[in-house]
Chains A and B, each alone.
Chain A
C-alpha cells in the first residue's frame, strides 16, 4: 500500500512569490492535515481537511490557504512568501478524524 506522498520534494522561491505544495493521502483516507516544521520551532499545526471541507486551521495568517479535492488529495498555497516561511511542510492523512495520522516525507520550502 502506498504511503502519503508529497510534491515537490524541494521548492525554492523568492520573497513575495507564491508556493503550491501538493499531498496525496493513503488510499481510503479522507482526512488530510498540514504542518509546518521550521528550524527550532517544532511542528506547528496549519490546516485540517476532512471530506473536502476545512475543519480547522492553526494560528497562521490568511496567506496560508489550501483545499481538498474530491479524490481527497490536497494542496497548500502560501502567498506573498516571507523569509520566515522557509521550513519543512509535512502532510499527514488518517482514515477518519481521530484515527492514527500517517505522515509524508515533506516538502522543503526555501524562500530567498
Chain B
C-alpha cells in the first residue's frame, strides 16, 4: 500500500527566505504527483501537477521536482511572503487510488 510522508510537519521562516518542502512516497509506481495548498477551514488550491514522465514543473515562484526512483518530490518556494502561509499537501495517484500526505504547515513571518 502506498504511503505518503511530508517532513517537517511545521516550518516557520522569515519573509524573503527560499525554502524547500519535502514529500516522500513508498511505491515508485505512481501516475502523477500534485502539490496543493490549504488555508484554514478551506478547500485545496492546486499548485503544480507533475506527470510520472516529468522531472519538474514551475509556476511563478514555485518549482516542484520529482524523483520517482527515490520516491521523493520537493516543492521549492522562492522569496517567501506572508501570503504563502498555509498548509502544503502533496498527493500521488497510484493505481486507481489517490494518497495524500499529512501536510507541512508553513508560517512566513513578516
Chain A interface residues (CB < 8 Å from chain B):
4, 33, 35, 42-45, 48, 55-56, 58, 90, 92, 98-106
Cβ of B43 and Cβ of A104 under 8 Å apart? Answer: yes
Cβ-defined partner of A42 (8 Å) among B43, B46, B49, B103? B103
Q: Does B65 contact A (CB under 8 A)?
A: no
B51 — nearest CB in chain A belongs to which residue?
A98
Question: CA separation between A63 and B48, bound complex, in Å?
Answer: 34
The reply to whether B102 and A42 form a contact with Cβ atoms under 8 Å apart is yes
| Further pairs besides A92-B44, A98-B93: 20, Cβ < 8 Å | A35-B98, A42-B100, A42-B101, A42-B103, A43-B89, A43-B91, A43-B100, A45-B99, A48-B98, A90-B43, A98-B51, A100-B49, A101-B34, A101-B91, A103-B36, A103-B44, A103-B46, A105-B42, A105-B43, A106-B42
Q: Is the CB of A103 within 8 A of B45?
A: yes
- How would you classify the secondary structure of chain B's contact residues: helix, strand, loop or mixed? strand
- Docked Cα-Cα span, A101 to B33, in Å, equals 11
Residue of B nearest to A90 (CB): B43
Q: Which of B34, B89, B96, B101 contacts A55 (CB 8 A)?
A: B96
Count class of interface residues, chain B: 20 to 34
8 contacts between A and B (CB under 8 A): A45-B99, A48-B98, A56-B97, A99-B49, A101-B46, A103-B45, A104-B43, A105-B42
Count of chain A to chain B residue pairs whose CB atoms are closer than 8 Å in the complex: 47
Q: Which residue of A lies closest to B45 (CB)?
A: A103
In the bound assembly, the distance between CA atoms of A55 and B31 in angstroms comes to: 15
Task: Pick the contact of A100: B46, B89, B98, B102 (CB < 8 A).
Answer: B46
Residues of chain B within 8 A of A45, CB atoms compared: 97-100
Residues of B that sit less than 8 Å from A by CB: 31-32, 34, 36, 42-46, 49, 51, 89, 91, 93, 96-103
Interface pair A58/B97, CB less than 8 Å apart: yes
Main secondary structure of the interface of A (DSSP, over half): strand
Once the chains are docked, how many angstroms separate the CA of A106 from the CA of B89? 16
Given contacts A105-B42, A106-B43, are A100 and B34 in contact (CB under 8 A)?
yes
Closest-CB distance, B98 to chain A (whole angstroms): 4
